[in-house]
Structure 1
Amino acid sequence: MTVVIDLNADLGEGFGIWRLGDDEALLDLVTSANVACGFHAGDPLIIRRTCAAAVDRGVAVGAQVSYRDLAGFGRREMEVDPEELCSDVLYQIAAVDGVARSMGGRVAYVKPHGALYNRICRDPAQAEAVVAAVADYRVPEGGGPLPVLTLPVSAVREVAAQYGVPVVGECFADRAYTPSGGLVPRREPGAVLHDPETVAARAVLMAREGVVTAADGSRVRVDARSVCVHGDTPGAVRIAAAVRKALIDAGVSVEPFA
């Protein structure tokens, strides 16, 4: 049986004259693009250009929703009222989907970013606010709610089941894991991996065996349909290229999940 995996990256994370990463090069390698929605990064022009480039290459477009935190790049945890958070997430999805449709595509999934991603893995209240926004967004085609990318071990899963929102498991090739299946906080040494060969080998192990070696040397289950490489990591293009090549060489089919 052929193993199928999606390769996603965070893109469109510049702002104004400031650029972060090489979106064009990454879009030639990934199968799904998590497009910043303007709350942690991105602006209307960048969103438009990123969506257009993704659609041109047949790459699935995802709305990468975040806390309203441009100064902190969405990596600062915040206390936000659930109704406000739900509205913020709904706004972001609608904005990127509208732009993507004007470019001939559409938003195919939702992926929370940074601190919001980590928070809703363990906080049912904030997880419900995000999931409720996804459930509220009416997909024009009438195909049901958009799927949400999250860790295999996540509070999002139980909440999403109550709302009828699909959940897709995600793993991170370039991030260190805790023994419980979470991500090692970025402030800790070794939380982000930079060696292309190491990251590529981890991606193959995740895709083919559904496991990853945690920071303490133990093996953790990471049953996932999508593997992420971060677009803002130095050398991101080399890392993504190494990951894609290693997956294909290992007999893994690299295809979008959405």
Structure 2
Amino acid sequence: MPIDLNADVGESFGAWTMGDDAAILRVVTSANVACGFHAGDPRTARRTCALAAEADVAVGAHVSYRDLAGFGRRFLDVDPAELVDEVVYQVGALQALAAAAGTEVRYVKPHGALYNTIVHHRAQARAVATAVRTVDPGLPVLVLPGSVIEEEARAAGLRPVVEAFADRAYLPDGTLVPRSQAGAVVTDPQEVAGRVVRMATEGTVTAVDGTTVAVRPESVCVHGDTPGAVALATAVRAALDAAGVPVAGFR
């Protein structure tokens, strides 16, 4: 089965630059473009969408809590109705900028603390699903397998796309090791590449305690802000090619 590679991009802000978006977009097949709530700005978003279009890479709305200072990595106890509107706002804004860049938003991926919260937080997961359905029920949502958001997306008539992480360590229950803990991010290119090939071919990943966790992703994320992100993504793509695993978008 083909595997999609996605990366977080468009996270620069004003004069501050994060990541090498142009380089990573030459490797991945889907681009999670920041919508301005955790990172990014209108000019960065439009430019990133244009780069994605040139590279024939699908654009996704990387929606977040409204938390620029914390890069969207802090839990916010947002009222679900407010969260619906904030996600609608972010997706709609990126849709306009993508259209101006000659492309379109094809999926949604929650970011950071919002992504992790809706693994188990029913009200916020339902709010995200409601927001996406309100904007466009044809937009898939990237989800962690077995999560509450996977259930809520399906109940809302949306397509949940199961995702795994190339460069993040896993807990035995299939969730991600919090970034506040040592070893949460895997940075060795060969280790990362081997993990992704195993996910794609065997449907498993080794958790931090040595146990085997089942994961059969349609899409695998390489974080754009991980140290050496371009080298990691390049190693993953080369390893998948060598293993005979086709790399293609999930649409």
Structure 2 length-normalised TM: 0.99
Q: What is the rounded CA distance, in whole Å, between the counterparts of 2:249 and 2:150 in structure 1?
A: 20
Report how far residue 4 of structure 1 moved: 0.6
What is aligned with 2:233?
240
Name the SS for the 2:3 alignment partner: strand
Please say if residues 153 and 182 of structure 1, whose CA atoms lie closer than 8 Å, have aligned partners that are also in contact. Answer: no
Q: Find the aligned partners of 2:146 and 2:67 in 1 and give their Cα distance.
A: 26
Q: Deviations over 1:170-218 (max 9, x none)?
A: 0001000000000000010100000000000000001111110000000
Compute the displacement of 1:145 (Å): 2.5
Question: Aligned to 1:84, what secondary structure does the other structure show?
Answer: helix
Q: Could you tell me how far apart the structure 2 residues matched to 1:102 and 1:21 are? A: 23
Counterpart code for 2:247: V
Q: Which residue of 1 aligns with 2:189?
A: 196
Whole-angstrom CA distance in 2 between matches of 1:250 and 1:15: 38
Overall identity of the aligned pairs, in %: 60
Partners of 1:88 and 1:53 in 2: CA distance: 26
Corresponding position of 2:77: 79
Mapped partners of 2:75, 2:228: distance in 1: 27
Counterpart AA for 1:239: L
Deviation at 1:223, TM superposition (A): 1.4
Superposition pairs for residues 22-171 of structure 1, below 5 Å?
Answer: 22-138=20-136, 144-171=137-164
Deviation larger for 150-159 or 196-205: 150-159
**Is the contact made by 1:65 and 1:111 (CA closer than 8 Å) also made in structure 2?**
yes
Moved segments of 4+, more than 3 Å: none
Segment drifting more, 159-168 vs 72-81 = 159-168
In the other structure, the counterpart of 1:177 is 170
TM-score by length of 1: 0.96
Tell me which residue corresponds to 1:210: 203
Structure 2 residue ranges without an equivalent (≥5) = none
Give the distance between the partners of 2:114 and 2:63, measured in 1 at CA.
8
Note if contact 1:8-1:33 (Cα within 8 Å) is conserved in structure 2: yes
Q: What code does the residue aligned with 1:35 have?
A: V
- Counterpart-to-counterpart distance in 2, 1:98 and 1:207: 34
Q: Please list the CA deviations of residues 230-255 of structure 1 after superposition, one character each: whole Å capped at 9, or x if unmatched.
A: 00011000000000000110000000
Match of 1:141 in 2: none
Write the distance in 1 (CA, Å) between the matches of 2:70 and 2:155: 32
Instruction: Specify the SS of the correspondent of 1:121.
Output: coil
User: How many pairs does the alignment contain?
Assistant: 251
How far, CA to CA, are the matches of 1:160 and 1:45 in structure 2? 31
Cα distance between partner residues in 2 of 1:30 and 1:53: 12
User: CA contact under 8 A between 1:41 and 1:73: conserved in structure 2?
Assistant: yes
Within 2, Cα distance between the matches of 1:105 and 1:210? 33
C-alpha distance in 1 between matches for 2:150 and 2:225: 27
| Coordinate RMSD, CA, aligned | 0.7
1:223 aligns with 2:216: yes
